[in-house]
């Protein structure tokens, strides 16, 4: 198991975490997400403590930093599980160990979340933000996750290729993973961890407006697609009914057009991000399943409309009530059966060592690290032979062999 830590302009809490993890025997990979020269001495100190450091020349976002680290591990440490942790002191070594232990006990189709219960002194922004996201996530996916914004997560090695295909460059990447997991047959388990906020979370780089929009946008994609189809369907229904006076023909004609639009939007923009990442769902198969769903919903739609209008409910009101009733059913069926691949990718080569056991590198283990001191401002030595963050470092580079001369 490797601990992956994305870091942007960190402080000495990163060094404390690296030292504790190395003391516990964990391999540590840190991705410097373009923190700049002012923070170079700190990352050099992390290297001296035994971490391997990759560097983005400029800030590219937490999501891209995580993908850079995952791609590096897939290339240099195949078969190794990964636990991702934040660099700001929110995740303790004890909790990281606990998530790693839980990860070792679950199947390859399961990711583990280190879940905070938000007890004690929690910043209002964090408490409200997580509550809103949790409620939206459950409303859209039907899956209850208590802490959707946690950065402490465990991923099996077999899941890394799929993770590399998930979209999102910044904070939305982690929520996107959860959304795509619910549509691709993967399981999410939660393990309780401590709720730690230091200095009211002042070190967080989360931008309340811009990053909130990025986080919530995926949650609203399906609702927007359905709303578009609903408006089109309603307008066509009213127009056809006014022209023909035949409710059945009007329902069929309006639904045929709106379903074609809805299928295209959902396949390309909503559920398609998963199918492209986890193995493309054939258009013909998805279309056949969608047609079966559409026919079922069409029948239910007509029966409900007939019942409501017979009771004297105006057609427009009856249409709104009918669509609201069928919305949740439509989403759940599309999520679980229409646009899912039904298969999981496997990693090649397969895991060759037990979970939690790293392959042995042909090098001398590093000396036991000591607790970090404030890094010297002297110019750092490079942490890798190249500035390319996605370069394929050797096994000995991932686990440093001996103190620098």
The DSSP secondary structure of 214-280, one letter per residue, reads HHHHHHHHHHHHHHHHHHHHHHHHHHHHHHH--HHHHHHHHHHHHHHHHHHHIIIIISHHHHHHH-P
Higher local confidence (pLDDT), 253 or 361 = 253
Torsion of CA 370, 374, 379, 380, to 10 degrees: 30
Boundaries of domain holding 39: 2-206+345-367
Residue 211 lies in a domain: no
Of 321, 338, 355, which residue is a domain's last? 338
Instruction: Examine the domain organization and report whether 247 and 134 are in the same domain.
Output: no
Q: What is the pLDDT of residue 251?
A: 85
Residue 386 lies in a domain: no
The DSSP secondary structure of 17-56, one letter per residue, reads HHHHHHHTT-EEEEEEES--GGGHHHHHHHHHTT-EEEEE
Select, from the ranges 72-81, 236-245, 331-340, the one with the highest average predicted confidence (pLDDT). Answer: 72-81
As a whole number of angstroms, the distance between CA 138 and CA 250 comes to 34
Instruction: Examine the domain organization and report whether 359 and 235 are in the same domain.
Output: no
| Contact of 229 with 265, CB cutoff 8 Å | yes
Per-residue pLDDT, averaged over 151-179, amounts to: 90
Higher local confidence (pLDDT), 243 or 284 = 243
The pLDDT of residue 356 is above 70 = no
The pLDDT of residue 18 is above 60 = yes
Q: What is the pLDDT of residue 289?
A: 79
Residue 184 lies in a domain: yes
Instruction: Examine the domain organization and report whether 288 and 201 are in the same domain.
Output: no
Q: What is the pLDDT of residue 340?
A: 58
Instruction: Examine the domain organization and report whether 250 and 125 are in the same domain.
Output: no
Percentage of the chain exceeding pLDDT 70? 66
The pLDDT of residue 365 is above 80 = no
Residue 380 lies in a domain: no
Higher local confidence (pLDDT), 221 or 105 = 105
Instruction: Examine the domain organization and report whether 270 and 302 are in the same domain.
Output: yes
Residues 177-188: pLDDT tens digits?
988 888 788 999
Residue 135 lies in a domain: yes
Per-residue pLDDT, averaged over 377-387, amounts to: 39
Higher local confidence (pLDDT), 307 or 381 = 307
Instruction: Examine the domain organization and report whether 124 and 26 are in the same domain.
Output: yes
Q: What is the pLDDT of residue 218?
A: 56
Higher local confidence (pLDDT), 144 or 14 = 14
* Mean pLDDT of the chain, nearest integer: 75
Q: What is the pLDDT of residue 196?
A: 65
The pLDDT of residue 118 is above 80 = no
Instruction: Examine the domain organization and report whether 265 and 353 are in the same domain.
Output: no
Instruction: Examine the domain organization and report whether 36 and 90 are in the same domain.
Output: yes
Q: What is the CATH number of the domain that holds 81?
A: 3.90.550.10
- Quote the number of domains for the chain: 2
Residue 168 DSSP code: -
The pLDDT of residue 33 is above 50 = yes
Residue 390 lies in a domain: no
φ, ψ at 2 (rounded to 5°)? -120, 140
The pLDDT of residue 230 is above 90 = no
The pLDDT of residue 375 is above 60 = no
As a whole number of angstroms, the distance between CA 29 and CA 53 comes to 6
Residue 178 lies in a domain: yes
Residue 323: pLDDT band (50, 70, 90) is confident
Residue 152 lies in a domain: yes
Residue 248: pLDDT band (50, 70, 90) is confident
Instruction: Examine the domain organization and report whether 141 and 235 are in the same domain.
Output: no
Instruction: Examine the domain organization and report whether 74 and 200 are in the same domain.
Output: yes
Q: What is the pLDDT of residue 403?
A: 33
Lowest model confidence (mean pLDDT) among 30-39, 108-117, 263-272, 366-375 = 366-375
Q: What is the pLDDT of residue 5?
A: 97
Q: What is the pLDDT of residue 321?
A: 87
The pLDDT of residue 258 is above 50 = yes
Instruction: Examine the domain organization and report whether 302 and 362 are in the same domain.
Output: no
The pLDDT of residue 78 is above 50 = yes
Higher local confidence (pLDDT), 329 or 54 = 54
Instruction: Examine the domain organization and report whether 181 and 45 are in the same domain.
Output: yes
Axis crossing angle, helix 13-23 with helix 40-48, rounded to the nearest 10: 10
**Could you give the 3-state DSSP secondary structure of residue 111?**
strand
Per-residue pLDDT, averaged over 19-29, amounts to: 96
């Amino acid at each position: 198991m490797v601990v992956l830590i994305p870091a942007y302009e960190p402080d000495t809490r990163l060094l404390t975490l690296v030292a504790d993890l190395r003391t516990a025997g964990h391999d540590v990979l840190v991705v410097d997400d373009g923190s700049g020269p002012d923070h170079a001495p700190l990352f050099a100190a992390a290297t001296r403590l035994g971490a391997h450091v990759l560097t983005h020349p400029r800030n590219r976002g937490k999501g891209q930093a995580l993908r850079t680290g995952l791609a590096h591990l897939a290339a240099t440490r195949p078969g190794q599980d990964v636990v991702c942790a934040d660099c700001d002191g929110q995740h303790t070594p004890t909790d990281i160990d606990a998530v790693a232990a839980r990860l070792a006990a679950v199947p390859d189709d399961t990711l583990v979340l280190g879940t905070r219960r938000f007890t004690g002194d929690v910043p209002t922004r964090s408490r409200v933000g997580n509550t809103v996201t949790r409620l939206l996530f459950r409303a859209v996916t039907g899956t209850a996750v208590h802490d959707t914004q946690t950065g402490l997560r465990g991923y099996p090695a077999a899941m890394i290729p799929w993770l590399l295909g998930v979209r999102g460059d910044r904070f939305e990447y982690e929520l996107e993973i959860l959304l795509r997991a619910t549509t691709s047959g993967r399981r999410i388990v939660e393990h309780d961890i401590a709720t730690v906020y230091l200095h009211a979370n002042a070190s967080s780089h989360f931008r309340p407006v811009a990053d909130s929009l990025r986080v919530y946008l995926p949650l609203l994609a399906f609702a927007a697609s359905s709303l578009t189809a609903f408006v089109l369907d309603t307008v066509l229904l009213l127009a056809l009914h006014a022209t023909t006076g035949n409710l059945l023909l009007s329902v069929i004609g309006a639904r045929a057009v709106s379903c074609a639009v809805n299928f295209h939007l959902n396949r390309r923009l909503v559920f398609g991000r998963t199918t492209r990442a986890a193995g493309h769902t054939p258009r013909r198969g998805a279309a056949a399943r969608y047609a079966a769903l559409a026919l079922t919903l069409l029948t239910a739609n007509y029966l409900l409309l007939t019942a409501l209008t017979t009771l004297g409910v105006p057609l427009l009101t009856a249409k709104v009530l009918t669509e609201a009733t069928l919305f949740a059913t439509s989403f759940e069926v599309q999520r679980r059966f229409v646009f899912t691949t039904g298969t999981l990718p496997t990693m090649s080569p397969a895991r060759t060592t037990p979970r939690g056991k790293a392959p042995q590198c042909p090098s001398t283990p590093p000396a036991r690290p000591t607790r970090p001191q404030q890094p010297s401002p002297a110019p750092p030595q490079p942490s890798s032979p190249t500035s390319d963050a996605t370069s394929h470092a050797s096994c000995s580079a991932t686990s440093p062999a001996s103190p620098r001369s």
